[in-house]
Structure 1
């Protein structure tokens, strides 16, 4: 039974619509917040120590990451392969020096390190199947490529070797010296000169005339054009 003197308040139609609209908007806001949370979690794709490696993202770790493949024969495939179009396939960086200097005398670790104990294989292999370079080393102020061996050969070349510090020039007929411009010549450079044709003159001496030039003096005037080769070792 309803109490006497008390009237039940029935909401108007407009008021019922306002409540329905409020509920609809609240549900939409809740769904949007949930979607934003999921999207925010998906955007954090960087991997840390113990996580899976995420492609296309920054991956950091506090210990060494090892990828090993043991189901292939030597030289038949790769344990890890990096490829790119128009850029580096694999890049190795080392921004912090080592705490101690290695026995070879140069401080700091390497950006890329290759190691092997098998005499039949190499630690690092570079291959170019076209006309470009297989391995390139550059340095702004230091050594571009350092070759070092305690008991073996530091550098061994199979095939032609090309040096920008070497070249070929001609002593004109009737002249007894020629100035060569081009190669870098330090104050302590060794200048090697060899005559490449039959002639009546011989090399007397060669000396530096500038930072990028040197002169070759012969023992007399050439009766014919005389070709000679040089190699400057700084």
Structure 2
């Protein structure tokens, strides 16, 4: 029997199937919208698997492409549609196979932001003017407010500190571009990614190592349980 048939059977027998689509939600809880902007550049999801947390350069590019929308209308349209999709649980449920409202499809949004970043860096000298400078510093202001709003969540864990330092550094490079300075954007992005990643896996940070350790996995799926299952029942244990 083909492997995909087993996957289909697992989905059809999953407890996530058969309930009310999107768990009956028409809108997300207020906290989701409250922390959404912060979740775009800080390693803290607003919920429902909306894990974005792009680096500082990418976050600035997300705003820049909207301000200079006439230069790339298709890119702006794609980003706008995806942002709207992230606002409604029903869309998340549909993208999740008609089950729970989980924004696992957000990787598509992140890839679109990556394209926006490449476009901004490539056209930095072309679009440079006073409006670009204002846009960059307004973006820093918005980011700062987003972090302050969720101060107990972010700064207490150090997530926002790394991102804010990277944002400030990137903002000066983008607001006053030159060929030599533009190359430093790569180092800022790498610093941001490595710093946040290291903090996420540290014991004082997200502690992801402990969260997904083998011992934790065994607590949920001990090997003895699998040995006791019949061959026909193992498919129901498959993660969907």
TM-score by length of 2: 0.19
Q: Which has the higher strand share?
A: 1
Q: Which has the higher helix share?
A: 2
Q: Which has the larger radius of gyration?
A: 1
- Higher normalized contact order (CA 8 Å, seq sep 6+, divided by chain length): 2
